[in-house]
């Protein structure tokens, strides 16, 4: 399991003229164990790219950036460097600790024999010199959060701070069930399987009731830090992906610099390069950085970045807010980026087809506004024994269609031109921040984690929005079939929405079938024309009904027109919600 950790110390607002800024960058692409099976392409490039961004964009002194890559990234070297740097921190100092490589945890049922050592709420980093000769050797060679890292961080001056960013997936089992192989390699290690059957037989290795009990007992641990902000690449049940050379050469994937990277790292680096500063005030806050990274990841990959904070007010603080003369990530003017779909350009659906006969490929190529491709695509259709499976470009399943239902499949593909435009439509130069989040109702979230994007069928959750400025707010759900369901404006919520107010858009239970929904939100300083057409209405009996709009209809095109032609300052946000069984 690949991990990327960034720990940026400097959350609290203490200014010292001689404040120090250091970075410890650790990356493991080639491991001593596993005979090459564990190797990843991204980490080595992640380190080089992050170093450049830290120097060129964030103004860190090159001499204050410390690197441990591959053979040098042993547990002893990592622990020595981290211990030395954390002990030297004073009030106002910053330390960036970045780990890019594999990680593991007890979230994977296969690792339950070592669950009591790893613990459920911290996970473990896998250094270069992982020793898989025995369970004791494994636990001794891992860098375990609560055992090895937490004591160092808890001793840091309370007026220094921490940002942790994990580009990792915790569960090898989750990775196996995650989807097609063309999604790319995951950062998942099944430690028990890697140790081999002989070691398992000799040690009697199996899931123990004691280990499971230890996991259950620790689930209630509170967030252990007062000065740590933690980003992670995916939820506990999701895989985190590595974008390798083969994926780049296929044309189906791209990175900000054309080199292999972790999918999450790629989005993070892109945000740090400039577009993360949403309101263009010259300061990149933790919230802006997290939201820009999460939205970028969710557009292209089936993983949902997470954040943990000691208090939600910390999210509004600038990243690298302390020190002397640090240039913010967005100090240069940001050039407006038009929507990839284009406002007036005819949209063509790029369709990748797998397993089809020549005649079937001809049928797909005859669909209006559809072009077949072997590279970057908007949809992928795959032949199955009983019909077809249709996938979104971010690899979630849209639906399965029987062979006899080709006309229905063709209609969904043809309609994807409008759906894609609605998915990708962006405010080219937003002037304020719009936040869109979901929170469970009645379920305790992970300590310090205010947001959640995964819900089991039947679980209740609230969809929330907040604005940096007063604005008219339009929110809608776009499901896998391309249907739009308007959620806001509603007669129960006065418009415009006040600034800094968190609005509960709706409270609902996740319903079958399991799958993915995209929630889009658009905020307008001026009330758009045609606003009432896309507003929920209340009957005399007090019942509220909201418009539902199918792709390919005149109403769908009117909605696109409203979003593209609205006047005044605007903002937008996207959130992908996963419903699981």
Most confident of 311-315, 476-480, 496-500: 496-500
User: 2-316 architecture in CATH?
Assistant: 3-Layer(aba) Sandwich (3.40)
| pLDDT band at residue 270 under the 50/70/90 scheme | very high
61, 323 contact by CB (below 8 A): no
Burial class (CB in 10 A: 0-12, 13-18, 19+), 226: middle
CATH 2.70.50 placement within the chain: 434-580
> Where exactly does CATH 3.40.50.1460 map onto the chain?
2-316
Cα pseudo-dihedral 351, 357, 359, 363, rounded to 10 = -20
Q: Tokens 């390699």 label which residue?
A: 185
Query: Residues with Cβ < 8 Å from 238, sequence gap 6 or more?
Result: 169, 174, 178, 302, 303, 304, 454
- Residue 216 is predicted with a pLDDT of 42
Tell me 553's DSSP state: S
- As beta bridge partners, residue 351 has 372, 379
What is the arithmetic mean of pLDDT over 390-402? 85
pLDDT band at 124 (very low <50, low <70, confident <90, very high): confident
> What is the mean pLDDT of the segment spanning 315-330?
50
At 225 the pLDDT is 83
Question: Is pLDDT above 60 for 557?
Answer: yes
Terminal CA-CA length for the chain: 24
What is residue 558's predicted lDDT score, i.e. its pLDDT?
93
162 and 224 Cβ atoms separated by less than 8 Å: no
Kindly tell me if the per-residue pLDDT of 203 is higher than 60: no
The three-state DSSP-derived secondary structure of 160-226 is CCEEEEECCCCCHHHHHCCCCHHHCCECECCHHHHHCHHHHHHHCCCCCHHHHHHHHHHCCCCCCCC
pLDDT band at 300 (very low <50, low <70, confident <90, very high): confident
* Residue 172: per-residue pLDDT: 38
Per-residue pLDDT tens over the stretch 54-103: 998 888 899 999 999 999 999 999 999 999 998 988 888 888 899 999 88
157: left (phi over 0), alpha (psi -120 to 50) or beta: beta
Is the pLDDT score of 303 beyond 90? no
Parallel, antiparallel, or unpaired for β 242-243 and 261-262?
antiparallel
In the predicted model, is pLDDT for residue 335 greater than 70? no
Q: Which fold has domain 434-580?
A: Coagulation Factor XIII; Chain A, domain 1 (2.70.50)
Residue 394 in 3-state DSSP?
A: coil
Q: Which residue has the higher pLDDT, 3 or 366?
A: 366
Q: CA 374, CA 352: separation in Å to the nearest integer?
A: 6
**Could you read off the pLDDT of 235-257 as tens digits, one per residue?**
776 778 899 999 898 877 889 99
Average confidence score pLDDT of the chain:
80
Residue found by looking up tokens 């050039």 in the block: 335
Cβ contact 294:231 at 8 Å: no
Burial 164-190 (b: 16+ CB within 10 A, else e): bbbbbbbbbbbbeebeeebbbbbbbbb
Does residue 541 carry a pLDDT above 90?
Answer: no
pLDDT of 340 over the 50 cut? no
CA distances from 478 to 83, 202, 551, 557, 578 (A): 48, 53, 10, 14, 13
pLDDT attached to residue 177: 33
| Percent of the chain topping pLDDT 90 | 33
What is the rounded CA–CA span in Å between residue 496 and residue 524?
9
4-22 mean pLDDT: 59
Residue 555: band (very low, low, confident or very high) from pLDDT cuts 50, 70, 90: very high
pLDDT of 304 > 90? The answer is no
Average confidence (pLDDT) over 417-425: 87
Report pLDDT digits (tens) over 144-172. Answer: 888 899 899 888 888 887 777 788 776 43
Taking 80 as the threshold, does the pLDDT of residue 516 lie above it?
Answer: no
């Amino acid at each position: 399991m690949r991990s990327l950790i960034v720990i940026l110390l400097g959350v609290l607002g203490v200014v010292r003229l001689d404040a120090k800024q250091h970075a410890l960058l650790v990356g493991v692409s080639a491991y001593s164990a596993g005979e090459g099976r564990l190797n990843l392409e991204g980490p080595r490039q992640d380190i080089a790219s992050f170093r450049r961004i830290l120097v060129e964009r964030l103004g860190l002194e090159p001499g204050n950036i410390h690197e441990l890559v591959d053979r040098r990234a042993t547990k002893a070297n990592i622990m020595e460097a981290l211990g030395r740097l954390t002990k030297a921190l004073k009030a106002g100092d910053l330390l960036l600790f970045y780990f890019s490589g594999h990680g593991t945890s007890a979230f994977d049922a296969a690792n339950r024999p070592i669950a009591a050592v790893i613990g459920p709420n911290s996970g473990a980093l896998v250094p270069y010199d992982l020793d898989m000769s025995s369970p004791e050797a494994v636990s001794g060679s891992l860098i375990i959060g609560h055992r090895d890292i937490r004591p160092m961080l808890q001793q840091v001056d309370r007026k220094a701070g921490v940002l942790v960013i994990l580009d990792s997936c915790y569960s090898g089992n989750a990775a196996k069930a995650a989807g097609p192989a063309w999604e790319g390699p995951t950062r998942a290690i099944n430690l028990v399987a890697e140790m081999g059957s002989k070691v398992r037989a000799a040690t009697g290795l199996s899931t123990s009731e004691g280990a499971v009990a230890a996991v259950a007992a620790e689930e209630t641990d509170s967030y252990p830090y007062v000065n740590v902000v933690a980003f992670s690449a995916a939820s506990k049940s999701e895989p985190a992906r590595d974008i390798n050379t083969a994926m780049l050469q296929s044309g189906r994937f791209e990175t900000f610099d054309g080199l292999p990277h972790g999918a999450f790292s790629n989005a993070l680096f892109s945000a740090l390069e400039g577009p993360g500063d949403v309101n263009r005030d010259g300061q990149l806050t933790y919230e802006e950085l997290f939201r820009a990274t999460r939205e970028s990841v969710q557009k292209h990959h089936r993983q949902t970045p997470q954040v943990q904070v000691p208090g939600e007010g910390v999210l509004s603080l600038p990243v690298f807010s302390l020190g002397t003369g640090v240039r913010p990530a967005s100090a240069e003017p940001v050039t407006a980026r038009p929507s990839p779909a284009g406002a007036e350009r005819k949209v063509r659906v790029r369709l990748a087809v797998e397993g089809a006969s020549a005649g079937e490929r001809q049928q797909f190529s005859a669909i209006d506004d559809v072009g077949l491709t072997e590279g970057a695509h908007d949809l992928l259709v795959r032949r199955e024994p009983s019909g077809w499976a249709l996938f979104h470009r971010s690899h979630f399943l849209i639906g399965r269609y029987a062979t006899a239902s080709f006309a229905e499949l063709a209609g969904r593909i043809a309609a994807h031109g409008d759906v894609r435009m609605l998915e990708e439509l962006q405010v080219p130069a937003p002037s304020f921040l719009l936040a869109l989040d979901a929170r469970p109702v009645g379920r305790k979230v992970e300590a310090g984690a205010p947001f959640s994007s995964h819900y089991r069928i039947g679980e209740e959750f609230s969809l929330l929005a907040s604005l940096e400025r007063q604005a008219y707010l339009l929110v809608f759900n776009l499901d896998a079939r391309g249907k739009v369901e308007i959620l806001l404006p509603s007669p129960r919520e006065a418009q415009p929405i006040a600034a800094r107010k968190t609005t509960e858009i709706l409270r609902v239970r996740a319903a079958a079938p399991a799958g993915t929904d995209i929630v889009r939100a658009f905020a307008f300083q001026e009330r758009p024309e045609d606003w009432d057409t896309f507003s929920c209405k209340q009957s005399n009996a007090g019942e509220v009904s909201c418009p539902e709009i199918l792709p390919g209809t005149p109403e769908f095109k009117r909605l696109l027109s409203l979003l593209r032609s609205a006047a005044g300052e605007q903002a937008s946000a996207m959130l992908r919600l996963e419903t699981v069984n």
